[in-house]
A = this chain, B = another copy of it.
Amino acid sequence: IACYSTSSKARQGKIYESAIDAVADVKDGSQILFGGFGICGIPEKMIDALKKKGVKNITAVSNNGGVDDCGLGVLIKEKQVAKVIGSYVGENTELVRQYLKGELAVELTPQGTLAEKIRAGGAGIPAFFTPTGYATLVQEGGAPVKYSKDGKVIVESVKKPVQCFNGRNYVMEESIFADFAFVKAQKADALGNLVFNKSARNFNAPMCRAAKVTVAEVEEIVPVGAILPDEIHVPGIYVKRIFKGSNYNKRVERLRITEPKEAGQPAAKANPAQLLRERIARRVALEFSDGMYANLGIGIPVLASNYIPDGMSVMLQSENGILGLGPFPTKDKVDPDLINAGKESVTVVQGAAYFGSDDSFAMIRGGHIDLTILGAMEVSATGDLANWMIPVSTMTWESSCSLLMYLMALQGKLVKGMGGAMDLVAAPGTKVIITMEHNARDGSPKILESCSLPLTGKEVIDLIITEKAVFQVEKGVGLTLTEVAEGFTVDDIIACTGAKFAVASNVTQMRQIPV
């Protein structure tokens, strides 16, 4: 054998002239994976081409529903989409309107499960088990997928099988493999090898692998060999077509800027709501330790990162594919390809890493994150968490609920999706801290014997921190009050809490990290 060799002629056959050419054979009724997270890394040229072509009845697999005039929102507005399979659709009011009017089906899927279903589809795995969503609507079924025009649920989500491994229950989820995957990459060579830019890798990377025909739109086509074999994010074998898009109109969904002068404004300090939030954040910050990896939810959890002591290293993970979040950028450093899971512009620290959504949730679900901190709408004495928005009972589903949903939807309060929260709390071995105001705006307790809202996770919480108290949560034991904020007594806490709890013998005043 003189030789053992791939023949080396570079193919030009994958390069298409335009988005219009690349989507020319998409038929009505196709199932299509759309890359991107929020509107970061979306295949905007192909979305426009599908609009022009007028393809109808699309089943769109997309983490988000875009916004009203951008991303998947463009096709939803034109009523080209029959069904959305995604984790969070709260940014698109037209999508919610069509959903509640029975014009569009929505299958809400936890973000990590969605990423893994796609990864599995590409990897020849027809089904897998995940801790995510066990004992929630996602597993128990009955979530409304489609309404009739008069607001009745005509398609419900199905109940999923459960199996026990090592004493813990897991949900069986089946894979997704689509007709097309439309992705956006930074650059490609003629063989279809792809490299993504920063957090725009997100769902694009796993989606490339999970469709009969994957089309990548890129900002640059480079010569074969210009991307080194160790630097390729997605090998060309997965990519059937590529084309170069131009005049990208990339937007930041939530522009956040670090402006040094902000720090000098003392007025903000006087705001009582802000003081309350800072009290919680300063308590949360005591939970950090050197070398820790943490995922912080939007709001108070993020605020806590401001109190990480000097000299302590805490690496922050963002589930859209970043390890090593940095501060918000200065105006000149904003990059639409670099956002956090809250869709805010961010930077990264030295030593940060980017990865796809499948890898991100493998990291989360695998318990590699030491600490996850989230907000809550309700928590229970047994550590159940409810923090996603559909206000229906997990036990019954009646038309009155639908009406309630509709009214709440009109107020924009509803049908958002669970995003990555179910995955974040499901990982065995990851400490889950809940931060929230102790009571709802009407004064009713948010700590209850059992949650009335649909669960995000069952028996998942380890610690609850409110502006009034700190509770430890232990499996089989329940709540133990360990700290009470200045100005409150144990009796005050009993009075404003909707669940029974033990009081630690060494209960202390609520601690605060020094500033």
Q: Tell which of B2, B236, B262, B366 touches A124, judged by Cβ atoms closer than 8 Å.
A: B366
Contact A189 B11 (CB under 8 A): no
Is A224 close to B, CB under 8 A?
yes
Q: Tell which of B7, B190, B340 touches A312, judged by Cβ atoms closer than 8 Å.
A: B7
Residues in B with CB closer than 8 Å to A441 are none
Q: Tell which of B6, B290, B315, B363 touches A6, judged by Cβ atoms closer than 8 Å.
A: B315
Q: In the docked arrangement, what's the CA distance between A448 and B4, Å? A: 32
Q: Give the distance to chain B from A370, nearest Cβ to Cβ, in Å.
A: 9
Q: In the docked arrangement, what's the CA distance between A327 and B353, Å? A: 34
Contact A368 B237 (CB under 8 A): yes
Residues in B with CB closer than 8 Å to A7 are 308, 310-314, 349
Q: Tell which of B13, B209, B302 touches A291, judged by Cβ atoms closer than 8 Å.
A: B13
Contact A4 B256 (CB under 8 A): yes
Q: Tell which of B124, B166, B308 touches A427, judged by Cβ atoms closer than 8 Å.
A: B124
Is A270 close to B, CB under 8 A?
no
Q: Which of chain B's residues has its CB closest to A323's CB?
A: B235
Known contacts being A3-B327, A262-B2, is A313 close to B353, with CB within 8 Å? Answer: no
Q: Which of chain B's residues has its CB closest to A238's CB?
A: B368
Q: Give the distance to chain B from A487, nearest Cβ to Cβ, in Å.
A: 25
Q: Which of chain B's residues has its CB closest to A423's CB?
A: B124
Number of this chain's copies in the assembly equals 2
The digit string for A157-194, where 1 denotes a CB below 8 A from any CB of B, is 00000010110101000100000000000000111010
Residues in B with CB closer than 8 Å to A365 are 123-125
Contact B229 A316 (CB under 8 A): no
Is A141 close to B, CB under 8 A?
no
Most chain B CB within 10 A, of A121, A325, A366, A367, is at A366
Residues in B with CB closer than 8 Å to A405 are none
Is A395 close to B, CB under 8 A?
no
Q: In the docked arrangement, what's the CA distance between A344 and B368, Å? A: 36
Residues in B with CB closer than 8 Å to A119 are 362
Residues in B with CB closer than 8 Å to A196 are 230
Is A231 close to B, CB under 8 A?
yes
Contact B170 A237 (CB under 8 A): no
Is A411 close to B, CB under 8 A?
no
Contact A235 B126 (CB under 8 A): no
**One of A40-48, A71-79, A98-106, A128-136 contacting the partner:** A128-136
Q: Give the distance to chain B from A478, nearest Cβ to Cβ, in Å.
A: 26
Known contacts being A116-B123, A238-B368, is A230 close to B354, with CB within 8 Å? Answer: yes
Chain A residues at the B interface, C-beta cutoff of 8 Å: 1-11, 13, 116, 119-131, 163, 165-166, 168, 170, 174, 189-191, 193, 195-198, 201, 209, 224-225, 227, 229-233, 235-238, 256, 258, 262-263, 290-291, 293, 302-303, 305-306, 308, 310-317, 323-328, 340, 344, 346, 348-355, 361-369, 426-428
Can you list 6 residue pairs at the A/B interface with Cβ under 8 Å?
A: A2-B306, A6-B324, A123-B362, A124-B366, A124-B426, A237-B315
